[in-house]
Amino acid sequence: MRTSTQLSGITVGEVLGKSLPGIVTAVTDEWIEVGPDRVIETLQWLLNSDEFDAIQLSNLTAVDRHTHIEVVYHLQSLDLNHQLVVKTRTHGMDPAVVQSAYSVYKGALLQEREVYDLMGVRFEGHPDLRRLFLWDGFPGHPLRKDFLGMPGRITSGLEGFPFEDKDKPIRPINQENVEAGVAYVVTGETDESKTGTDLSEDRG
Amino acid sequence: MSENTRSATPMSRQIAEHHSLLDRTLALPRPILVMLSVLLVGFAMSQIAIGYLVISGQLDGKWYDIRDLGNAMISLDGVIQNSEMDSRIASTLAYLIPTLAGATGIVSIVGGWLLIGPWVERRLIAKFQIRQGPNRTGPFGLLQTLADALKLMQKEIIIPSGADRFLYFVPPVAVFIPAILGWAPIPWSPKMSYADLDVGVLFVIAISSLGVLAVFMAGWASNNHYSLLGAMRTIAMMISYEIPISVSLLAVVLLTGSTKLSEIVLWQSEHGVWLVMLIPFAALAFLFASTAEINRTPNDIGEAESEIVAGFYTEYSGMKAGLFMGVELANAILVGALMSTFFLGGYTMFGLETWIPGYLILATKIGLVYFLFVWIRATLPRFRLDQLMGFAWKFLIPVSIALMFLTAIESSILVRWDVPNFLSLGLIGLVNITSAAGLTFVWLRVLFRDTDLSTPPAPILTREMGGLQAAKVLRG
Amino acid sequence: MTTSTEPYILNIGPQHPSTHGVFRLRVVMDGEKIKDLDMIVGYLHRSMEKLAEERTFTQNIPFTDRADYLAAMTGNLGLAIAVERLAGVEVPERAEYLRVIFSELQRIASHAMANGTLISDAGAWQTPLLYMFREREKILDLFEMTCGARLTTNYMRIGGVAFDPPVEFWPALQELVDELPDRIDEYHELLVSNEVFLARTRGVGVISPEDAINASLTGPALRGSGIPWDLRKADPYSVYDRMEFDVVVGRSGDVYDRFMVRMSELYQSVKIIKQAMSQIPAGAHKTDIPLALRPDEGEIYSRIESPRGEIGFFLVSDGGPSPYRFHIRAPSLINLSLLHELGRDAALSDAIVTLGSLDIVVGEIDR
């Protein structure tokens, strides 16, 4: 009985950077990041590579990071029993465009529709991009952090739980707390020696 | 678990505490038990009295001989003839009274069955599905049908726009025409059949075709794709299965030498055999084709609830839909009566009809055939339309016709051959059974030579995980 | 004279006796064959993922009940495991065994329901479904005994399970586990060589292994096509690595294979429950965690094997009591990726049966 492993982003980024130089824009030990217009290339390469053999797309989802939207792909190999995580970020909130992974994985069909519906990310190359849960003409994209802003707040989130210890910090849910999540550094574009090694130490 | 602990879960407790019918009967209060036993003794004594009357022949032919209600009609006829009435009035009365009495009887049978039939069917299917059927409305749920009927009657009548005004209202009533007319030639006792036509069998076959018209009207007039689709499926099925019915009845007619239903029954009683034992394949073909005629499972693709809601009666609301659902039951007992008459000996029971009235025997047989229908409905899944049609045209019709030729040969031998019944009929029965079985096997082998009918292999059990490579290894 | 036919549009659902929940199919039909198939979902969309951002992790556990409402225990378990991996919470051993027992009980109940509804779709008037409901009723009674609810159990907690089962639970479980193999044999016999059932399900809705993997199918849909992939063995969570059981794999990827995979998994689940019952130690049933757990910043994608496939939870935490992003990877939605291709050029009855074999729960699709 083998236990499954999640491949280190550093390894993946190194190998990927050797064959497709400059494609990786950021790396941590959990995931690699590529540009939104090079998603198909990356996924196709990972699918065809013998070392990674990412034949199945486990999960395709998106996270709203206030200034951009981050689309996350969880890939796995069934024979080699490992997973890898690929991320990409849109160039802005409006319009948020990413290449569609449908040509590589058919399983992206409905998941990309869901991301389009709830987050507003357009996937270029998707054969049938329309809303999945909400009706045509629904104003806005609900899962975005600025949808239905509550009075005095910009985003969703609990500031603190009412029955917690009193000394737990109350988090301000407002513009100051905007960049929540892991911070990372964008590596250089074309210099081969620089790909895949820049691990950011400060998380947050 | 020791005896002192209660079963923990409600379900297992319910199962453990369930008492059998005998236990519950014996647990009734004492006065009721005493009354029941008195009634039982009284019943036994009355049976003995009747038995004495029957044996001594004092009962035969009297107007109060309830073993055959036709006796009363004949006595009435005699009374009218002997009275000093004007001959035209006399003949009119002599015709009118039995006709009205018979018609009332038939309509009350069908109507009465519509009152209690749904209850019976639902309780029976529930027993097959390990649950109880309706048991809340009224004692033992007997008023359930009434409640359903009242509910349906008070529903709003929704007529789809674009529906043909006349053709929309006719079908719910028109489907009942064959369901009631079909009872006419059926003999209930030697002198008791409403219209003992000389061409009774032809009449039966013609009646079964009337149902198709009503279905067609219903599907067309609803102005709805669902209904049209359902109606088309139903009509295709119904007219396809009329042929096996006709061929089976042809086999019956060949053997018995008459198309009169009462003579068919008498032939079975004289020869001391039921036609189901002589031509079993015809009987089974008749049974299966009849389920298609009356749209019951496994052949109810026209109203396949899980696929297209309700088929040809989708657009009917309230009591109109209720009538469509009710006619299925009325048709079911009609087919039961026909099946009993043709294949199960009708009202005869190897001599028992001198003791028990023939109509009670026939009613019991109808009940048994109906039970068979309900059993099939509760157990089998539905056939797909192309499977149904393939079965009718590729299997039932050719095999029925082939066996009917065989029956024709046998019947001509039977007429000329002077041997005791036991031998001739036994031989015919044997030949028929073996030829039917043999022909079925051979023909099915031919029909399905390309498809794999064996039980599929069991799935593979493994402990090694993997993707395409591992799958290749598993497949070997 | 040539005949020409005109295609027409048939709407199946959202209210329908056959579809599993509020699920709508828009079918363009040409006679009896389907030319185009489109599914419209969202009738049960309750914006769980957005609401979850306003609640603590423990308060989000009831959402998973209502997502996959026919497999609540595995949904709860998935979220509990995800948060435990994110926050580094240890689970006591007794709780792990209880989790395994209840997950497998839930698997039996869910597969019984899935197979029963498949046969009802094929037209068998609910009789086999009600037969399987006997055992499901007993299992739901066990759930009620332990956590108070039959369907939306809300039983798993971060760091263990909510309650220790009462004293009457173990004899009842023993009784159930003793009689289950015979009952499953009964259902097996009823159906495995029933010609009508075989005619309706063999060769229908075939999915090739490559298509299955590429379309992100998981669970019995994937295993029916011949791929031996089960997360309980490939990526063991809880104490599944101490259990001896087999994974059932089909041969040809048709409806019959998926049906048989679920049927045979019932035996395996019984085996697992028996082993868990014999190995379970005494001890605590959960660890103490803060009222509103604040995991470190980070993200995690953790997945377990629910009766429908791989149910995954993608959690992004920003150090606060509520998640920054809460996403459920719903197997039912993703297993429908091939529906369009499976439905094309099939008969309507076949499409319905194929949909039934993919075992969807609309609560999970819509969330």
User: What does the DSSP assignment read for C182-198?
Assistant: HHHHHHHHHHHT-HHHH
Mean pLDDT in residue range A62-86: 90
- Give dist(CA B222, CA C242) in Å, integer: 63
Q: pLDDT, tens digit, for every residue of A114-153?
A: 999 999 999 999 998 999 999 888 888 888 887 875 555 5
Hey, which of B268-272, C2-6, C28-32, C344-348 has the most confident mean pLDDT? B268-272
- The pLDDT, as a whole number, for residue B8 is 62
- Give dist(CA C160, CA C77) in Å, integer: 9
- Judging contacts by C-beta atoms under 8 Å, the chain A residues touching residue B468 are 55, 78-79
- Give dist(CA C342, CA C337) in Å, integer: 10
Best residue in A133, A171, A178 for a mutation probing chain C (most C CBs within 10 Å): A133
- Judging contacts by C-beta atoms under 8 Å, the chain B residues touching residue A79 are 466-470
Provide the chain C residues 25-64 that lie in CB contact (below 8 A) with chain B.
32
CA atoms within 13 A on the CB side of B19: 8
Whether pLDDT at A176 is above 50: no
Q: pLDDT, tens digit, for every residue of B26-70?
A: 888 888 889 999 999 999 998 888 888 878 877 777 777 777 888
C204 neighbors C255 (Cβ within 8 angstroms): yes
CB-based burial label for B23 (10 Å; 0-12, 13-18, 19+): exposed
Q: DSSP readout, A26-65?
A: EE-SSEEEE-TTSHHHHHHHHHH-TTT---EEEEEEEEE-
- The pLDDT, as a whole number, for residue B316 is 84
CA distance C320 to chain B (A): 38
Kindly provide the b/e burial profile for residues A69-85, where b requires at least 16 CB atoms within 10 angstroms of the residue's own CB.
Answer: bbbbbbbbbbbbbbbbb
Whether pLDDT at C2 is above 80: no
| Minimum-distance CB partner of A142 among C50, C318, C321 | C50
Tokens of A71: 């689309």
| B236: amino acid identity, one letter | A
- Judging contacts by C-beta atoms under 8 Å, the chain A residues touching residue C318 are 157, 177, 180-181
CA distance A129 to chain B (A): 29
Mean pLDDT in residue range B307-313: 62
Best residue in B9, B226, B297 for a mutation probing chain C (most C CBs within 10 Å): B9
Extents of the domains making up chain C: 8-366
Q: What are phi and psi of B94, to 5 degrees?
A: -65, -25
CA distance B305 to chain A (A): 28
Q: Report the Cα B174 to chain-centroid distance in Å.
A: 20
Beta carbons of A107 and C298 less than 8 Å apart? no
Q: pLDDT, tens digit, for every residue of B169-216?
A: 899 999 999 999 999 999 998 888 888 899 999 999 999 889 899 888
Instruction: Please name the residue that has the structure tokens 């018209």.
Output: B213
Q: pLDDT, tens digit, for every residue of C79-126?
A: 999 999 999 999 999 999 999 999 999 999 999 999 888 888 776 667
Q: Report the Cα B122 to chain-centroid distance in Å.
A: 16
CB-based burial label for B278 (10 Å; 0-12, 13-18, 19+): buried
Q: Which of the pair, A187 or A99, is modelled with greater confidence? A: A99
C334 neighbors C218 (Cβ within 8 angstroms): yes
Best residue in A29, A56, A115 for a mutation probing chain C (most C CBs within 10 Å): A56
CA distance B441 to chain C (A): 15
Flag whether residue C250 sits within 8 Å of chain B, measured between CB atoms: yes
C338 neighbors C31 (Cβ within 8 angstroms): no
CA distance A81 to chain C (A): 7
Share of chain B above pLDDT 90, in %: 36
- The pLDDT, as a whole number, for residue C143 is 93
- Give dist(CA C239, CA C236) in Å, integer: 7
B444 neighbors B458 (Cβ within 8 angstroms): no
- Give dist(CA C304, CA C335) in Å, integer: 16
* Mean pLDDT computed over every residue of chain A: 78
- Going by pLDDT thresholds of 50, 70 and 90, the confidence category of residue C19 is low
Whether pLDDT at A177 is above 70: no
- Judging contacts by C-beta atoms under 8 Å, the chain C residues touching residue B302 are none
Beta carbons of C10 and B129 less than 8 Å apart? no
Provide the chain B residues 217-276 that lie in CB contact (below 8 A) with chain C.
225-226, 229
* CATH class for the region spanning C8-366: mainly alpha
Q: pLDDT, tens digit, for every residue of C208-253?
A: 999 999 999 999 999 999 999 999 999 899 899 999 999 999 988 8
| Minimum-distance CB partner of C234 among A4, A59, A181 | A4
- The pLDDT, as a whole number, for residue A190 is 32
CB-based burial label for C176 (10 Å; 0-12, 13-18, 19+): buried
Using CB atoms, which chains have 3+ pairs under 8 A with C? A, B
Partnered with residue A62 across adjacent β-strands are A71
- The pLDDT, as a whole number, for residue A178 is 47
Listed residue (A64, A63, A45, A62) closest to A54, CA to CA: A45
Flag whether residue B386 sits within 8 Å of chain C, measured between CB atoms: yes
Q: Which residue of A has its CA nearest to B471?
A: A79
- Give dist(CA B461, CA C249) in Å, integer: 6
- Give dist(CA B5, CA C168) in Å, integer: 9
- Going by pLDDT thresholds of 50, 70 and 90, the confidence category of residue B334 is very high
| Minimum-distance CB partner of C321 among A2, A110, A158 | A158
Q: Which of B233-242, B306-315, B448-457, C302-311 has the lowest mean pLDDT?
A: B306-315
Q: pLDDT, tens digit, for every residue of B76-114?
A: 888 888 887 788 888 888 888 889 999 999 999 999 999
Listed residue (B21, B231, B460) closest to C264, CA to CA: B460
Provide the chain B residues 425-464 that lie in CB contact (below 8 A) with chain C.
452-453, 455-464
Tokens of B350: 């190897």
CA atoms within 13 A on the CB side of B229: 24
Whether pLDDT at C160 is above 60: yes
- The pLDDT, as a whole number, for residue C17 is 62
Q: pLDDT, tens digit, for every residue of B1-19?
A: 445 556 666 777 777 777 8
Residues 6+ away with beta carbon under 8 Å from B183: B106, B109, B110, B194, B334, B337
Beta carbons of C299 and A4 less than 8 Å apart? no
ipTM score of complex: 0.90
- Give dist(CA B367, CA B333) in Å, integer: 8
B113 neighbors B362 (Cβ within 8 angstroms): no
Partnered with residue A24 across adjacent β-strands are A34
- Going by pLDDT thresholds of 50, 70 and 90, the confidence category of residue B303 is low
- The pLDDT, as a whole number, for residue A65 is 83
Q: What are phi and psi of B13, to 5 degrees?
A: -65, -40
Whether pLDDT at B350 is above 60: yes
**What is the greatest pairwise CA distance in chain A?**
54
Mean pLDDT in residue range C253-267: 92
Extents of the domains making up chain A: 5-133, 150-192
SS3 of B192, please?
A: strand
Q: Report the Cα C242 to chain-centroid distance in Å.
A: 23
- Going by pLDDT thresholds of 50, 70 and 90, the confidence category of residue C207 is very high
Hey, which of B57-61, B252-256, B470-474, C9-13 has the most confident mean pLDDT? B252-256
- Give dist(CA A58, CA B17) in Å, integer: 50
C286 neighbors C95 (Cβ within 8 angstroms): yes
Flag whether residue C247 sits within 8 Å of chain B, measured between CB atoms: yes
Flag whether residue C16 sits within 8 Å of chain B, measured between CB atoms: yes
- The pLDDT, as a whole number, for residue C125 is 64
* Mean pLDDT computed over every residue of chain B: 86
B262 neighbors B190 (Cβ within 8 angstroms): yes
Q: Which residue of C has its CA nearest to A4?
A: C235
Q: Which of the pair, A176 or C78, is modelled with greater confidence? A: C78
Q: What are phi and psi of A109, to 5 degrees?
A: -55, -60
Beta carbons of B384 and C138 less than 8 Å apart? no
- Give dist(CA B374, CA B378) in Å, integer: 6
**Cis status, amide bond into C14, omega within 30 of 0:** yes
Best residue in C213, C341, C362 for a mutation probing chain A (most A CBs within 10 Å): C213
What is the β-pairing status of strands C298-306 and C247-249?
A: unpaired
- Give dist(CA C217, CA A93) in Å, integer: 31
Tokens of B270: 């004289």
Mean pLDDT in residue range C348-360: 87
- Going by pLDDT thresholds of 50, 70 and 90, the confidence category of residue B310 is low
CA distance A58 to chain C (A): 6
Beta carbons of A74 and C53 less than 8 Å apart? no
Topology adopted by domain A5-133: Beta Polymerase; domain 2 (3.30.460)
A181 neighbors C316 (Cβ within 8 angstroms): yes
Using CB atoms, which chains have 3+ pairs under 8 A with B? A, C
- The pLDDT, as a whole number, for residue B301 is 67
Whether pLDDT at C168 is above 80: yes
Whether pLDDT at A193 is above 70: no
Whether pLDDT at A200 is above 70: no
Instruction: Please name the residue that has the structure tokens 């909400």.
Output: A134
- Give dist(CA C75, CA C82) in Å, integer: 11
Q: Report the Cα B302 to chain-centroid distance in Å.
A: 19
Flag whether residue C172 sits within 8 Å of chain B, measured between CB atoms: yes
B179 neighbors B326 (Cβ within 8 angstroms): no
A117 neighbors A134 (Cβ within 8 angstroms): yes
Mean pLDDT in residue range A97-105: 92
Whether pLDDT at B148 is above 80: yes
Beta carbons of A142 and C234 less than 8 Å apart? no
Partnered with residue A75 across adjacent β-strands are A57, A84
Q: What are phi and psi of B67, to 5 degrees?
A: -70, -20
Q: pLDDT, tens digit, for every residue of C169-186?
A: 999 999 999 999 999 998
